[in-house]
Amino acid sequence: MSCDEAMGRPALRRLLSVLLPALLLAALSSACSPWRTSTAMPAPPGPVATITSGQVMAVPAAAAPTTPVPAAALPRPPRRSAPELAPALAPQRAARHWADFQLLAAQRLVDANPAGTYGGPVPEPLLAIPVLEIELNSDGSVRRITVKRQPRQALDTVQLAIAAVQRAAPFGSVSHLPRPWKFTEVFLFDEQRRFKPRTLDL
Structural Rg of the chain based on CA atoms: 54
Bridge partners, 52 (sequence order) = 55
pLDDT tens track for 158-167:
999 999 999 9
- Say which residue, 121 or 58, is predicted with more confidence: 121
Residue 80: pLDDT band with limits 50, 70, 90: very low
Rounded CA-CA distance 157/150 in Å is 9
- Say which residue, 130 or 7, is predicted with more confidence: 130
At residue 38, φ and ψ (nearest 5 deg) are -85, 145
Amino acid at 153: Q
- pLDDT value at residue 26: 63
Tell me the torsion sign for CA atoms 38, 40, 46, 48.
negative
Helix axes 156-168, 98-112, angle to 10 degrees: 100
Nearest to 104 by CA among 177, 194, 8, 45: 177
Residue 27: pLDDT band with limits 50, 70, 90: low
At residue 184, φ and ψ (nearest 5 deg) are -115, 140
Read out DSSP for 137-192?
Answer: -TTS-EEEEEEEE--SS-THHHHHHHHHHHHH-S----TTSPSS-EEEEEEEE-TT
Residue 23 has pLDDT above 80, yes or no: no
Q: Under a CB-based contact definition with an 8 Å cutoff, are residues 189 and 127 in contact?
A: yes
Residue 124 has pLDDT above 90, yes or no: yes
Nearest to 101 by CA among 185, 35, 166: 185
Classified as helix, coil or strand, 59 is coil
